[in-house]
Amino acid sequence: MKKPIPDPKFEYIRDFVLSDEAADLFARLEQVDGFHLETGSCDLKPSHATVQWGPRQSYLDCVPKAYRAKSSGDVPEWLMPLKRRLEIEYNCYFDSIQVNKHFNENAIVDSHSDSPPGHICMVSLGAERNFRMALRGPSYRTLANIPLANGSLLTFFPNDQWRHTHAMPRSKTPCGARYALVFRYITDALVREGAIKTTVAFRLLDKQGKMERKQRNIERNAEYNAVQAAYRNSGYAAVEECLRLKPWRQL
C-alpha cells in the first residue's frame, strides 16, 4: 500500500517585517522609477506593474511583448538587508527580487505555479489581500486562504511549490496599493527565451524538443545546487567564484 503524499509545505509569518521598517520600504518603493505594466498570462491584461532586479525569468511565448518586463539591474543597496535576512532565515542564496505593485482592490493574480527550483519568499507591504493556495491535480483542493498582512512573509519550499497553485482574487472591499516583493534564485536556463511553456505547448513538443527541455532542467537544477552549496559552505565570495566558473555548463 502506497503511503499518502503529504501536502506541500509553506510558511506564513505575519509580522516578519515590523511596522516602521514596512512603512519605510513602502515609501521607498513609491519613489522607484521603472515599474512596467506586466502580465504572465497569455490572455489576461495586466492589473499590476512590476520592476525586476537581478535575472528576469522568461515569459510564455504567447504573452504580448508590450506586457513583458526586463531586469533593471542589480538589487539596490537599500533592499540588501532584507535579502540577507531571508538568506540567513532559510540558509539559501537569492539573486532576484521581483516587485509587483497591485494598485487597488481590482488587481488580481491569476492561478499558477512557479518554476524556479528553490525557496520562493514573498514579503507583502501595504494593503492586506487574500491569497488562495490549492493542491494541483484533479481535485484542486484548497490548501489555504491567507490574509497577507502588511509586513508578512509567505515562503514556498523547494519542490513543494510545483505541487500547488496560488492566486490573489479581487478584493471584496476597496483598498489601496499593495507591493509584493518576491525573492527567488533564477538560473541561466530559466532566462532563455522559450524556457517556460504552457501545459498544452509542452504536450505538443516533438521528441527533440522534449530532450532539449530535459537537458535544460538538468542544467537548471545543477546550477541551483552548485550555487547553493557554494553559499552554504563559504558565503558570497564562493558564490561569485561559482558563477564565474559555471561548472554546470560542463555537463
The answer to whether the predicted template modeling score (pTM) of the entire model surpasses 0.85 is yes
The answer to whether 216 and 191 have CB atoms below 8 angstroms apart is: no
Can you tell me the distance from the alpha carbon of 140 to that of 97, in angstroms, rounded to the nearest whole number?
29
**What pLDDT is attached to residue 70?**
95
pLDDT score at 198:
67
- Report d(CA 219, CA 189) in Å as an integer: 7
The Cα 139–Cα 104 span in angstroms is: 31
What per-residue confidence (pLDDT) applies to 202? 65
- Cα–Cα dist 134/173, whole Å: 23
**129 or 205, which is more confident:** 129
Grouping H, G, I as helix, E, B as strand and the rest as coil, residue 22 is helix
Q: pLDDT band at residue 213, thresholds of 50, 70 and 90?
A: confident
Cα–Cα dist 192/209, whole Å: 15
- pLDDT per residue as tens digits for the range 168-180: 999 999 999 999 9
In sequence order, what are the residues at sequence separation of 6 or more whose Cβ sits closer than 8 angstroms to the Cβ of residue 61? 193, 194, 197, 201
**pLDDT band per the 50, 70, 90 thresholds, residue 28:** very high
3-state secondary structure of 102: strand
Q: Which of 69, 63, 61 is nearest to 42 (CA)?
A: 63
Residue 237, Cβ density class (10 Å: 0-12 exposed, 13-18 middle, ≥19 buried): exposed
Residue 111's CB is within 10 A of a number of other CB atoms, namely 15
